[in-house]
Amino acid sequence: MSLRVTVLGAGSWGTTVASLLSRNTPTLLWARDPQVVTEINDNRSNERYLPDARLSQKLNATADLEYAIREADVIFVATPAQTFRAVLTEVARQIRPWVPIISLAKGLELGTMMRMTQIVDELLPGHPPGVLTGPNLASEIISGHAAASVIAMEDDTICRTLRRLFGSTVFRVYTNNDLVGCELGGALKNVIAIAAGMSDGFNAGDNTRAAIITRGLAELTRLGITMGGRAETFAGLAGMGDLVATCTSKYSRNRYVGEQLGRGRALDEVIREMHHVAEGVKSVSSVVALAEQHGVEVPIMLEVNNVVQELASPKQALRAVLRIESGAEWEPG
């Protein structure tokens, strides 16, 4: 492929995506920290976020944002959801017309409750927005383990073109035109993963975890459909696939936060020691607010928010989840 790609953000997922892309097309990775840039260019590594991983020899990095986007044909944005707007504001001053902007973030913006592609539409009208999402644990993918993802855009032609940039025997990318559903699946599953982690922290068992995952899937599906997503999206990679991986993997940041809370640690302490961002912690208040706005019941997500806002202890929240009155497994409509 002859498309020039830029990835903004050199965390674990941004670095992994950039390394994958660089094998097939010219790729430039932007990082704020010049030391990270030097390490990537000289040592083919990013030890802070991907310990012991070897990056593609074809990947180049820069700390110069203007240089990074000046000639880009496609831009992937891998910054956390809460800094997404600030980065795009800088990008908007220099980007060429009609360049697609693909989000790698899985969260909602605090205050506005906006999805990342909505921010793209607001700040960069005319630039096709999209999202790459799915059960994608960076440390496994960079090590060469097989994985699948989905790229979602409203324009099928652009979507199929970008999918081919990832051509690989171990990393398969599917297409989907349900942009709303794919993006919501990635954001909402993080909240459920915190609940699953709390269950693990209490050693509640596999049955409890499975119940939280499946009832959590029902919650995110209800809310996602109400907000315009399609039911089949939440049964696919962007929904169930991502949810299962995030709720069960030892590499999951959100599950880890929940587990530590279940073991009695304070949220501030857990967040302070992490090098990575747990998007569910930041997004949960926006998720609950959206659910209230749309009149959708999300009891598990509500209890996670109570813990994050220090309105309930993890033990109280888990007990509340287990006391939720049962009825029909799937309500009509």
Residue type for position 143: S
The answer to whether 189 is a known catalytic residue is yes
Classify residue 134 as left (phi > 0), alpha (psi -120 to 50) or beta. left
**Of 196, 191, 184, residue with least CA distance to 233:** 184
Identify the residue whose tokens are 């504001």. 89
> How far, in Å, CA of 38 to CA of 23, rounded?
20
> How far, in Å, CA of 194 to CA of 134, rounded?
17
The catalytic position among 189, 250, 282, 315 is 189
Q: Which long-range contacts (CB under 8 A, 24 or more apart) does 315-322 make?
A: 315/202, 317/195, 317/198, 318/195, 318/198, 318/199, 318/202, 318/204, 318/262, 321/195, 321/212, 322/208
Backbone angles phi, psi at 71, to 5 degrees: -110, 10
- Is there a contact between 147 and 141 (Cβ–Cβ < 8 Å)? yes
Where in the sequence numbering do the catalytic residues fall?
189
